[in-house]
Amino acid sequence: MSSEGFLKEVQDIGEKFLHKLQNLPKAEPVEIASFSVVLLFIVTVLVLTIIACSCCCYSCCGCGGRPDPRHRKSQVRPAAH
């Protein structure tokens, strides 16, 4: 998909979302509830993605951007006789 096609698709989705928001006060209660559930699902997925990414970055990089020494692998060598 070209960048123009992608931008057009994003713009179409944004326009549909704006149209839904504008018509929400006149909507039936079932439609309001279903829209709220979908919106809550999207927000939950975004929040969980942010939490997962931040936890992953924290475990890899540690505090202050330095690698955590506890996660460093050390090579075990046999004792010399």
Whether the Cβ atoms of residue 54 and residue 46 lie closer than 8 Å to each other: no
More confident residue, 10 or 65: 10
Q: Residue 40: what pLDDT? A: 95
- The domain limits of the chain are 2-56
- Prediction pTM value: 0.53
Instruction: Kindly state the greatest CA–CA separation across the chain.
Output: 85
Tell me the per-residue pLDDT of 3-14, one tens digit each, with 9 for 90 and over.
889 999 999 998
Tell me the per-residue pLDDT of 8-64, one tens digit each, with 9 for 90 and over.
999 999 899 889 888 888 889 998 899 899 989 999 999 999 988 887 776 666 555
Instruction: Specify the amino acid at residue 3.
Output: S
Instruction: Specify the amino acid at residue 48.
Output: L
Instruction: Specify the amino acid at residue 71.
Output: H
Q: Residue 46: what pLDDT? A: 93
In this structure, the dihedral spanned by the alpha carbons of residues 51, 53, 57 and 58, taken in order and rounded to 10 degrees, is 10
